[in-house]
């Protein structure tokens, strides 16, 4: 990782005089699988709150739209 190549994980004195370790970045290859899986699921959740039975409709009907109606308005999504 180029991020951590220059910085040793050992304690580095900072301007304040207190020694504290620089944070070591988490390797991207550990993050990516979680990001893909969780990203897809989370965006699906936001879609159901924000747009199902509005501009798009997977289930059909109006129940979902009416149920989250107030939240959709107040969270800032275009509702109807």
Partner 1 sequence: MMRRLLVFGMLAGFFAGLLAFGFASITGEPQVDASIAIEEASAPPPAPGEHAEEEVVSRSTQKGLGLAVATGVYGIAIGGLFAIACAVAYGRIGTGGMRPTAAVVAVTGFVAVAVVPFLKYPANPPAVGNPDTIDRRTGLYVVMVLVAVLAALIAAQVGRLVSARLGTWNAALAAAAVFAVLVTMAAVVMPVINEVPASFPAELLWRFRLASLGTQAVLWATLGLVFGPLAHRVLSPAPAPARQAGTLARADETRASSQATAPSAG
- Chain residues binding partner 1 by CB under 8 A are 1, 3-5, 9, 14, 22-28, 30-31, 34-35, 38-39, 41-43, 45-46, 48-51, 54-56, 62-63, 66-80
In angstroms, the CA 71 to CA 65 distance is 10
Nearest-approach distance from CB 17 to partner 1, in angstroms: 15
* Closer residue to partner 1, CB minimum distance, 58 or 63: 63
In angstroms, the CA 80 to CA 74 distance is 13
- According to DSSP, residue 13 is labeled E
* Closer residue to partner 1, CB minimum distance, 17 or 76: 76
E strand or H helix at 11? strand 11-13
């Amino acid at each position: 990782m180029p991020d951590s190549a220059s910085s040793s994980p050992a304690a580095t004195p900072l301007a304040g005089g207190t020694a504290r370790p620089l944070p070591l970045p988490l390797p991207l290859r550990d993050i990516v699988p979680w990001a893909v899986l969780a990203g897809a699921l989370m965006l699906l959740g936001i879609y159901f709150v924000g747009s199902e039975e509005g501009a798009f409709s997977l289930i059909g009907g109006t129940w979902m739209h009416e149920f989250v109606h107030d939240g959709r308005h107040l969270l800032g999504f275009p509702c109807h």
